[in-house]
């Protein structure tokens, strides 16, 4: 039996008697009796969101390896975790530390989420990956399939899923109080980065602390620019997923979960200011059409509209409530639900007077011990995290189909089983891309 298998089985067996479990919505993470019972984590990306993800890993286990393409960020993390071995290339880290690592956190720019996560899962590592789960639709499908094939615990980093208010909102929607929900409107204050601009001029020198080729990873080669790293990458097609990728795995999460909004029948986008093969638009309005869904096809057809760049839905849908810079409103036959919270953790039923005596439905979803804690419980053989890759990959697919529609410039009719557009085969190329040599899924 390999060292990897020995550690994995030992952790599961030592957890079976209650090393990690939930009771009455509370997390009981018992003190491990042996260092081997603690999860050994490796973190891919330790700056930005990676800073808090690596901190969570260190809090709940042994952080034994850290990786970043930026030496300044890497050394800053090394000062916090002096026992962790340092790497610039996650491929080297996962190969060299294979038998010692139990789980990874992946907190890189979007374009490296899938290759880093899939490599880790193929080596039997549990995987926590930031939102959006992937850069492309096809990568999201591969992430789900790989996780199931290798039997690893998984979670996407959309932390709102763990909030009590989010889970309560899902229960309220599922209770049927709104009647048939026929429309969903989602808007955001993004983008807040460079957009609608052409490729910057070449010739900017690569800083000595940046390993630029490793930043590029699977993306097409281009010269370094401070307009890409460390923050602006999100607005560039080669590296990021735009406003949708930044926010929709938060803001669409509540109603996608509550109303089974997977595999839309069609998607169409209106946009302004996009430069193809360079940057995402200044603003978009994207319409997804879903057919009947759910067990017995009991959920009626629904139109979901996404707005960004200053676009917003009709204000009358909020029935007198103040429209915030981002939010969600669901439109049902019996009333509306409005949330001004990006995570869906705060909500109000409209009109207020009609629902003044509304009694919340009986709790049907478990309350979370904490977002990262859910992942730790799952790694130790407990229940899957609610935003595990079986769910998160489908949410990500729904989200990223909007980006495909932006690039296609026409209405797309989607066959989820065949994973192709039935009316526009020329748009299928936007579902994936070829990786640069040396980078694979």
| Domain shared by 246 and 319, yes or no | yes
| Domain shared by 20 and 135, yes or no | yes
pLDDT at position 2 is: 55
351 cis-preceded (ω within 30 degrees of 0): yes
pTM above 0.85, yes or no: yes
| Domain shared by 319 and 362, yes or no | yes
* Contact criterion met (CB below 8 Å) for 79 and 102: no
| Domain shared by 187 and 307, yes or no | yes
* Contact criterion met (CB below 8 Å) for 131 and 157: yes
Distance CA 248, CA 160 (A): 12
| Domain shared by 119 and 172, yes or no | no
| Domain shared by 16 and 120, yes or no | yes
Number of domains in the chain: 2
Mean pLDDT per segment of 10 residues, for the chain of length 441 residues? 57 48 44 64 97 98 98 98 98 98 98 98 98 98 98 98 98 98 98 88 95 98 94 95 97 98 98 94 98 92 98 97 97 98 96 97 97 97 97 98 98 98 98 97 94
CATH code for the domain of 189: 3.30.360.10
Give the domain extent around 233. 165-195+225-366+396-431
* C-alpha 274 chain-centroid distance: 23
Distance CA 342, CA 331 (A): 18
pLDDT at position 21 is: 44
CA neighbor of 282 nearest in space, from 198, 190, 199: 190
pLDDT at position 12 is: 59
pLDDT at position 297 is: 86
CATH code for the domain of 57: 3.40.50.720
| Domain shared by 113 and 174, yes or no | no
| Domain shared by 278 and 374, yes or no | no
pLDDT at position 431 is: 98
* Contact criterion met (CB below 8 Å) for 134 and 114: yes
pLDDT at position 35 is: 43
| Domain shared by 261 and 290, yes or no | yes
120 cis-preceded (ω within 30 degrees of 0): no
203 in any annotated domain: no
pLDDT at position 342 is: 95
208 in any annotated domain: no
DSSP per-residue letters across 300-316: PPEEEEEEETT----GG
């Amino acid at each position: 039996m390999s060292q990897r298998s020995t550690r994995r089985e030992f952790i599961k067996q030592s957890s079976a008697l209650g090393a990690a479990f939930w009771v009455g919505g509370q997390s009981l993470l018992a003190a491990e009796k042996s260092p081997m019972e603690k999860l050994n984590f490796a973190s891919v990306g330790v700056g930005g969101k990676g800073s808090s993800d690596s901190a969570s890993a260190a809090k709940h286990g042994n952080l034994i390896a850290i990786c970043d393409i930026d030496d300044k960020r890497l050394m800053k993390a090394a000062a916090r975790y002096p026992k962790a071995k340092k790497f610039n290339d996650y491929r080297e880290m996962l190969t060299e530390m294979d038998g010692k690592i139990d789980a990874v956190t992946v907190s890189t720019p979007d374009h490296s989420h899938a290759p880093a996560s899939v490599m880790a899962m193929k080596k039997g590592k549990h995987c926590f990956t930031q939102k959006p789960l992937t850069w492309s639709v096809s990568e999201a499908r591969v992430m789900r399939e790989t996780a199931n094939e290798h039997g690893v615990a998984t979670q996407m980093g959309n932390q709102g899923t763990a909030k009590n208010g989010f889970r309560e909102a899902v229960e309220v929607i599922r209770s049927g109080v709104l009647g048939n929900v026929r429309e969903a409107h989602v808007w955001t204050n993004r983008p807040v980065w460079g957009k609608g601009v052409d490729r910057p001029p070449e010739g900017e020198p690569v800083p000595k602390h940046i390993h630029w080729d490793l930043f590029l990873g699977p993306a097409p080669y281009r010269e370094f620019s401070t307009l890409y790293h460390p923050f602006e990458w999100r607005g560039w097609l080669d590296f990021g997923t735009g406003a949708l990728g930044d926010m929709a795995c938060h803001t669409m999460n509540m109603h996608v979960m509550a109303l089974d909004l997977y595999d839309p029948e069609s998607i169409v986008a209106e946009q302004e200011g996009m430069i193809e093969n360079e940057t995402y638009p200044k603003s978009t309005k994207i319409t997804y059409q879903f057919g009947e869904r759910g067990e017995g096809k009991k959920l009626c057809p629904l139109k979901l509209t996404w707005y960004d760049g200053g676009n917003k839905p009709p204000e009358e849908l909020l029935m007198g409530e103040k429209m915030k810079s981002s939010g969600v409103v669901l439109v049902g036959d019996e009333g509306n639900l409005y949330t001004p919270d990006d995570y869906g953790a705060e909500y109000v039923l409209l009109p207020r007077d009609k629902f003044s005596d509304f009694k919340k439905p009986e709790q049907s979803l478990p309350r979370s011990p904490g977002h990262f804690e859910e992942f730790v419980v799952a790694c130790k053989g407990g229940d899957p995290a609610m935003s595990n890759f079986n769910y998160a990959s489908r949410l990500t697919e729904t989200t990223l189909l909007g980006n495909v529609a932006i690039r296609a410039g026409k209405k797309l009719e989607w066959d989820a089983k065949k994973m192709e557009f039935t009316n526009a085969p020329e748009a299928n190329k936007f579902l994936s891309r070829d990786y640069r040599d040396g980078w694979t899924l």
